[in-house]
Structure 1
Amino acid sequence: MLLVFDVGNTNIVLGVYDGKKLLYSFRIATDKTKTSDEYGILIKQLIEYRNMHLSDINAAIISSVVPPIMHTLEAMTIKYFNVYPIIVGPGIKTGINIRYDNPREVGADRIVNAVAAYELYGGPVIIIDFGTATTFCAVSKNCEYLGGAIAPGLIISADALFQRTAKLPKIELIKPEKVICKNTVESMQSGLIYGHAGMVDYIVNKMKREFAENAYVVATGGLAKLIAQEAKVIDTVNDMLTLEGLRIIYERNIERM
């Protein structure tokens, strides 16, 4: 079985694949202070909770936007699963042509998402990832990663309102019934969620005019479903897009080994 790691700034999402089938997925907090043993014990418990054994895992692949944690996770995978993981980065076969000024600047998660979106939906395609940051990526019909846009995510924006103002509270990110709200909490929720949805529509429509009016739009990330309720440009939501991309990249690289 294949263990995949999508390491983000806020969460690590793990998946266990048996061939092309995703059996289970888990979400844990990203913590740069944890040791390889702490991560190993935690992931061992999650796997055993699903009645699997560490010996069931015979391969692993890691995509990360948090460099300080990479050595820890790599060491953990070797120690607890006895496998050397594939690390998504320079030299890894993705099947996508990166048309960025400096390809090394592109986050691994953005490339992984692009690979999955093109494989699943074809091109041209636009990928929106609602994570710590909200990222927009454009992939051409010829499987070229053209670039995109990066904006503050919903959680960052909500935290900024709380931390940088004297009276605004920390809030739950849920959609209020109306845009015009009559209390502070709902007013903040309105501005954040409807404002984010408006940003999504505007940026995607601009991207379409720049490279492909017929681009398919797929959204992923923890808050994708929330924004997809309001944003008009999103064609589908795929919560497991990044995990699928990791599986695809693993398969493309294992053939070379």
Structure 2
Amino acid sequence: MNLVIDIGNSSAKVGYFGADSSHSIYKRVDSSELPAIAMEMKPDFILISSVTGDAETWKETLSDITSDIWILNSQLPLPFNNHYKTPHTLGTDRIAAVAGAQALYPQQSCLIIDAGTCIKYEWLENGIDYRGGSISPGLYMRFQAMHTFTRKLPLLEPEQEAFLTGTTTQEAMQSGVIKGMTAEIEGIIEQYKQQYSVSNVIICGGDAHFFERQLKTPIFVVSELVLIGLNHILNYTIDNLKR
């Protein structure tokens, strides 16, 4: 059994996968709960991805459960060809999202959109060649930026319905962020379709379902794409050990 752990800034997400990648259990937990969860699940193999820089500490903490623990970093072999020019700067969440697309749609070209704190676009060509992507401010970051860098604009929460022409300052802000971000996503998708042969457009991340209702382009929403990708990388690592 595999346990994959995605540690973020405020919480952690956990995925538990059977030998055939079925019966997955996804949990969003406080990172302090990880030892108890791992002890309860008793996995054979563990893969840790962390954006907080404490992966080595967690590896040591969980080493009593199994010695077969890996940390996702730029040195770990990947199931796809990584053409990124600075692989040591490539976020592990981006790596895992690409691996998730490869696991779900093998040998297919995928545009992956991770709508989280930042919105990240990743291009996986023919299911094997990762070419890179782009990063821009996410939904809440845009609202926060307008509030932080001006004197009078309020801090707003996104609303599902945004009018194109706002008749109040709050409506205008909602329009600018939501309509603007939707237009950005639609525009990026269209540019990829014009330049490449795109088999699938996949969206994940905390704001995936929000934009699923905004976008007109057909997309696949896979909320747990990063965990699926971590499990795919872990299985690839295990298979390499058996060779």
Identify whether the pair has TM-score above 0.5, normalized to the shorter chain: yes
Q: Partner residue of 1:32?
A: none
For 1:225, the aligned partner's letter is H
* C-alpha separation in 2, matches of 1:94 and 1:181: 47
Matched residues, number: 239
SS at match of 2:58: helix
Q: Partner residue of 1:17?
A: 17
For residues 112-151 of structure 1, the aligned pairs below 5 Å read 112-122=96-106, 123-141=108-126, 143-151=128-136
- Give the RMSD, CA atoms, in angstroms: 2.4
Q: Which runs of 5+ in 2 are unaligned?
A: none
For 2:132, the aligned partner's letter is G
Q: 1:59 aligns with which of 38, 45, 48?
A: 45
Deviation at 1:198, TM superposition (A): 0.6
Q: Partner residue of 2:63?
A: 78
Q: Partner residue of 1:193?
A: 178
- The CA deviation string for residues 145-184 of structure 1, in whole angstroms up to 9 with x for no partner, is 0111111111211211222222222222221253333444
* C-alpha separation in 1, matches of 2:83 and 2:152: 45
Deviation at 1:186, TM superposition (A): 3.6
Whether the 8 Å contact between 1:208 and 1:215 is mirrored in structure 2 is no
Q: 1:88 aligns with which of 66, 69, 72?
A: 72
Q: Partner residue of 1:167?
A: 152
1:215 aligns to 2:206 (yes or no)? no
Against the structure 1 CA distance between its residues 234 and 153, is the aligned structure 2 distance closer, same or farther, given a 3 Å change threshold? farther
Q: Partner residue of 2:34?
A: 43
Against the structure 1 CA distance between its residues 44 and 185, is the aligned structure 2 distance closer, same or farther, given a 3 Å change threshold? farther
For 1:17, the aligned partner's letter is F
Whether the 8 Å contact between 2:80 and 2:130 is mirrored in structure 1 is yes
Q: Percent same amino acid among aligned pairs?
A: 27
Whether the 8 Å contact between 1:74 and 1:84 is mirrored in structure 2 is no
**TM-score normalized by the length of structure 1:** 0.82
For 1:21, the aligned partner's letter is S
For residues 229-244 of structure 1, the aligned pairs below 5 Å read 229-244=213-228
* C-alpha separation in 1, matches of 2:101 and 2:71: 20
Q: Partner residue of 1:226?
A: 210
1:110 aligns to 2:111 (yes or no)? no
Whether the 8 Å contact between 1:180 and 1:190 is mirrored in structure 2 is yes
Q: Partner residue of 1:255?
A: 239
Select between 192-201 and 55-64 the one with higher mean Cα deviation.
55-64
**TM-score normalized by the length of structure 2:** 0.86
Whether the 8 Å contact between 1:15 and 1:23 is mirrored in structure 2 is yes
Q: 1:101 aligns with which of 67, 70, 85?
A: 85
* C-alpha separation in 2, matches of 1:232 and 1:58: 43
